[in-house]
Amino acid sequence: MKINVLGKVYITLMSVYFVISGFNALLDIDSKLARIGLSAIDSDGKISFILIYCSLMIGIGVSIALLYYFSKTWGYSALLASIIIASFISFRLVGAYMVGGLSNTQLSFLGVELLELAIGIFLLYKSSKLNQNYA
């Protein structure tokens, strides 16, 4: 029973995190670009950033929430969040390999993502163990 509460809290936090992250960047594009060492040459660059980053983050957050709403279980949403976070980690490492290292900013993102992924995997593992006991 407790794992279900933790699972619901996890997907709520992940959904809210993704949506807020997307909207936060949308409200101050130049600041977000500067934080990650980028700049947009013109309005097309800013629109591209909105399409790539903001729509992705908001879309993921909304997808996590809607998947829970329609499935009436948090497992699928936690699986989606965990896969997305694992993808972020994988491609952050691929990028680091390609450019020759990780900056302090990238290391901090990586640390948070590893924690988020570990929590998601733990909850999914415990949830499947719980479900096997009742099968």
62-83 confidence digits (pLDDT tens)? 999 999 999 999 999 999 999 9
Where are the domains positioned within the chain? 2-134
5-43 confidence digits (pLDDT tens)? 999 999 999 999 999 999 988 888 888 888 877 888 888
Angstrom CA distances, 57 to 21, 63, 100, stand at 7, 10, 27
Measure the CA–CA gap between 82 and 76, rounded to whole angstroms: 10
pTM of the model: 0.85
